[in-house]
Chain A
């Protein structure tokens, strides 16, 4: 059973471009969480999704950021018109239910130049 897969591992974007980060949860997991880790900080919750539904997006910036988890395929975190302050590591986690343990992917490190 493969772990949580995130791609790409590293992403470089110029200011104003769009960034698309993908997360494939573990097999059998229907709950996905996205977190952002700014340099030398802890992880901050962004959004919690189940298949085709956003359950909690209280940590998402109001503009430019969106997330989806379609019926088929990976979860996508989309950042439009990136700015330098978006440079961070973005981690995805998945769990089979809203229970105890969520498994983390290795993250996507976004650099905005």
Chain B
């Protein structure tokens, strides 16, 4: 079955870049997503990448996809205190509609 793994914690200083990593097992993944969850809130879609792409950039966010290694990363440039949250990687298989398989989440802490 599908499995998505992430490291649990990441701590960075304000202004530095953050890189959050994710590995997945389902080779039929069609879309890969990054969601942000702030305390007590729902999930906010940050960005997504189609499996035939290897990079996508959106303002401060850069997504890199290595299909061979089934590795996905999210880079946040110039990290701010408002970026402190839990970041979830998720994937949908081909034909899976919006049935998402989520990683366990990475808690990002931004320190002054």
Q: Write the chain B residue with the least CB distance to A107.
A: B42
Interface centre among A4, A31, A102 (most CB of B within 10 A): A102
Interface residues on B, range: 20 to 34
The number of residues on chain A lying at the interface, defined by a beta carbon within 8 Å of a beta carbon of chain B, is 25
Q: Write the chain A residue with the least CB distance to B95.
A: A98
**The one of A33, A41, A48, A56 that contacts B104, using a Cβ cutoff of 8 Å:** A41
Q: Write the chain B residue with the least CB distance to A93.
A: B98
B101 within 8 A of A: yes
Q: Write the chain A residue with the least CB distance to B41.
A: A106
Which residues of chain B come closer than 8 Å to A99, judged between CB atoms? 98
Q: Mark A81-113, 1 if CB is under 8 A from B, else 0.
A: 000000000010101001111111111000000
Q: Write the chain B residue with the least CB distance to A95.
A: B98
Interface residues of B (CB under 8 A from A): 4, 31, 35, 40-45, 48, 88, 90, 97-105
